[in-house]
Amino acid sequence: MKDMTSTRFPIAALRLAGVAIFGCLCCPAILAAKDGPLTLNPRLAEAEQQRIDAIARAVPSTVCVFVPGGGGGGSGVLISPDGFALTNFHVTSPAGSFMRCGLSDGNIYDAVIVGIDPVGDLALIKLLGRDDFPYATMADSRLASAGDWVMVIGNPFLLASNLQPTVTWGILSGVGRYQYPSGTLLEYADCLQTDASVNPGNSGGPIYNAEGELLGIVGRCSFEKRGRVNVGVGYAISINQAKNFIGYLHSGRIVDHATLGATVASDSDGGVRVSNILESSDAYRRGLTYSAEILEVDGRVVHTANELQNVLATLPAGWRVKLVYRNQGETVHTLVRLRSVHRQDELLTKMAGAMPPPPPLKKPPKEEEGGSDEPDGEKKATPRLAPNGDASNPIPPAVASLYEAKRGFANYAFNEIQQERFITRLRKQFPAKEDSDTIAWNIRGKTDDGRDVAISVTTDKLAIVVGDVAVEPKTKADLYDNVDAQNFAGILPALAAWQRMLIDGPKKFGETIYLGTMPLAGERPLRDCMVANDGELEVRFLSHPESELVEAIEVFADRDEDPAELWITRPVDDPNAIPITLDLRYGIESVLRIHVDSWENNGEANNEKESVDE
């Protein structure tokens, strides 16, 4: 027998031969040609090319986040061409108001904080300097399932010093996972689990599906006893949860998550039973009581207490969503307004405790030596500092122009931008007259049962006559009482607030903020929501994201009672025409529905055929 130990074979050749043999015996992945090189099976080559193309589509939108001064960093992902990007709260918290972000194009951009969600570990930042950034296409993470191919792209261990992010490939190991928070912060609900390598520095970065669509935001991984080394168990916030919060994050606020105002337990024979409930909660007002069985929340079926928490923890505080429950054999379909998990002061305190300490202050070299480069008698202006107090990293001018500190906000400047956007759109809508100092409305119509309705709304007078019943409130206390009593005159403070907002704008109206986006009566698309305080009344304006028209105005007299809701309907074929119906509701009941016949604006008759600019 020939001594094979004296014959040397290249290891690569042995591996290739093994693959060729395997391909011939099992599935012909590699085909051998008599007079040419080995070639891949076309289907395998196509699959490989699809993966290469997906990575090529995904990489440009991936952001490498660096904290100025070497204080750490992480990853992120661009979601719009004007530079808005998602990342983790725990990535941005060491940076304060600004950070520097690198893209695979080799460029570094200044970025400013916009809004933060410390409970769900999300943050929105804005990269500056362009309006044509590459951005990710969002998937529907509810369609993802265990076994799907995925890729994680980011900046593990801050390795992307050349701004080329790291790509890892794997599968979804599970969906709908729940990772308990630290206290009540950094709660990962209904999240995605993957075996694609996730390491420190990947936090805040994207996880994409095999087509290169954004599935979620990477945030946590299980290291167990191996230290800071990946063991194949990483978690990502689903992009559907992020979609719920993006509007809130655009408000520049520090936002909170939702609770039903009830505790629940899993039934021994299956189902979710209410074990306790706050009588001040909207759920209680909608008939949810002790021992009732919860069947669906926001259109999602729940079978256990854990599943219910998985759904609720992906929703913002203040949303109004659909609820289905069974009580004493009766199935009830209703709407509930969700409460906040925290009081604002409580959330700010917990958030402050979760943030890392600021990096140590660095002294300029000349100052350390006791000298100065400044001419005698001259002093440099005191630099604007980052909120973390790092004097060696003053806020860049481009960032400073987009940053304003205010309690309860990550960046109040972006709320002001949204307020200006709201009033500009509102003043383009009927029955507004742009730049008008006075507005007087006289509205005529009929109720569903044929009664005549007349409404006057001026700066001096509010009055409504329905049939032979007339109401003319004289003071703000009267307006409050009408809403509190839930009578038909609750339409007046809604119309008055609409009119005064048109005249005064957010700055003069009272304390006004852009809240974010939310469903209207549990229905998507999400509407823009502006909140304004008028004395003891809180007024909410909900506008359609595409038409930009106000569809509903809610007036709260007591946050523990149903508001007066004025629903405004316009012709489908001419949304700029006058409203054709005004519907006043409390809870889920309509108390006054007006079919509008005419709407005079400052004595000038309007009809449904007139456009806003006429």
pLDDT 10s digits, 379-428: 333 334 444 445 556 788 889 999 999 999 999 999 999 999 999 999 88
Question: What's the length of the chain?
Answer: 614
What pLDDT is attached to residue 11?
35
Q: Give the pLDDT score at 240.
A: 98
Q: Are residues 81 and 129 in the same domain?
A: yes
End-of-domain residue from the set 301, 316, 340: 340
Task: Give the least confident one: 34-38, 96-100, 322-326, 355-359.
Answer: 355-359
For residues 116 and 255, the answer to whether their CB atoms sit within 8 Å is yes
3-state secondary structure of 151: strand
Q: What is the pLDDT of residue 602?
A: 79
528 plus 489 within the same structural domain:
yes
Q: Stretch 558-565: mean pLDDT, rounded?
A: 92
Active-site choice (110, 121, 195, 298): 121
- Please check whether residues 430 and 529 belong to one and the same domain: yes
> Do 73 and 166 reside in the same domain of the chain?
yes
Summarize pLDDT for 236-251 with one digit per residue, the tens. Answer: 999 999 999 999 999 9
Q: What is the pLDDT of residue 37?
A: 76
Residue tagged active-site, from 104, 203, 251, 340: 203
For residue 62, pLDDT over 60 is answered with: yes
Q: How many domains does the chain have?
A: 3
Give backbone dihedrals phi and psi of 460, rounded to 5 degrees, phi first: -110, -15
Q: Are residues 134 and 197 in the same domain?
A: yes
State yes or no: pLDDT of 76 exceeds 60: yes
Structure tokens given for 343: 């009081």
| pLDDT score at 160 | 78
Active site residue 121: yes
Read off the pLDDT band of 148 (50, 70, 90).
very high
Check pLDDT > 60 for residue 177.
yes
pLDDT of residue 274: 97
Does position 31 have pLDDT exceeding 60, yes or no?
A: no
Is the model's pLDDT at 28 over the cut of 60?
A: no
Q: State which amino acid sits at residue 300.
A: R
In a domain, 467, yes or no: yes
Domain boundary among 274, 305, 340: 340
Indicate the pTM of the whole model.
0.86
**What's the pLDDT at 224?**
59
- Report whether pLDDT(34) > 80: no
Flag whether pLDDT at 435 surpasses 80: no
Average pLDDT for residues 360-376, to the nearest whole number? Answer: 40
Give the end of a domain, one of 324, 340, 356. Answer: 340
Is the peptide bond prior to 525 cis by the omega test (within 30 degrees of 0)? yes
pLDDT value at residue 500: 93
Same domain? 243 vs 151: yes
- What span, in angstroms and rounded, lies between the C-alpha atoms of 528 and 511? 17
Joined tokens for residue 528: 């823009």
**CA angle at 468 for the pair 465 and 474, rounded to the nearest 5°:** 40
Q: And the tokens for 350?
A: 């917990």
**Domain limits for position 264:** 258-340
Res 433: pLDDT: 52
Q: Which residues of 388-407 are buried (b: 16+ CB within 10 A; e: fewer)?
A: bebeebbbbeebeebbeeee
**Residue, of 179 and 361, whose pLDDT is higher:** 179
Structure confidence at residue 33 (pLDDT) = 55
Q: What is the mean pLDDT of residues 271-277?
A: 95
Q: Which amino acid is at 328?
A: Q
Please tell me which residue, 357 or 365, carries the higher pLDDT value. 357
Same domain for 93 and 210?
yes
Same domain for 519 and 461: yes
Whether 91 shows a pLDDT value over 90: the answer reads: yes
- CATH code for the domain of 269: 2.30.42.10
Asked if the structure places residue 202 within a domain, the reply is yes
pLDDT category of residue 595 using cuts at 50, 70 and 90: very high
pLDDT at 109: 96
Q: Residue 131 carries which side chain, given as an amino acid letter?
A: D
Closest to 207 in 3D by CA, of 199, 215, 197: 215
Q: What is the pLDDT of residue 269?
A: 83
Per the CB < 8 A criterion, the answer to whether 120 and 257 are in contact is: yes
- Judged against a pLDDT cut of 80, whether residue 434 lies above it is answered with no
- Answer yes or no: do 549 and 570 share one domain: yes
Residues 206, 94, single domain; the answer is yes
Q: What confidence score (pLDDT) does residue 30 get?
A: 56
Which pLDDT does position 573 carry in this prediction?
80
449 and 597 in one domain?
A: yes
pLDDT at 365 > cutoff 70: no
Lowest mean pLDDT among 148-152, 229-233, 549-553: 229-233
pLDDT at 35: 66
Q: Do 246 and 320 fall into the same domain?
A: no
Q: Report yes or no on 550 lying in a domain.
A: yes
The 10 Å Cβ neighbour count of residue 144 is 21
Which of 453 and 351 is assigned the larger pLDDT?
Answer: 453
% of the chain residues with pLDDT over 70: 83
Active site residue 333: no
Of the candidates 61, 75, 90, 534, the residue annotated as catalytic is 90
Tell me what the mean pLDDT of segment 555-574 comes to: 92
Q: How sure is the predictor about 96, in pLDDT bands with cuts at 50, 70 and 90?
A: confident
Query: Do residues 124 and 160 lie in contact, with contact meaning Cβ atoms separated by under 8 Å?
Result: no
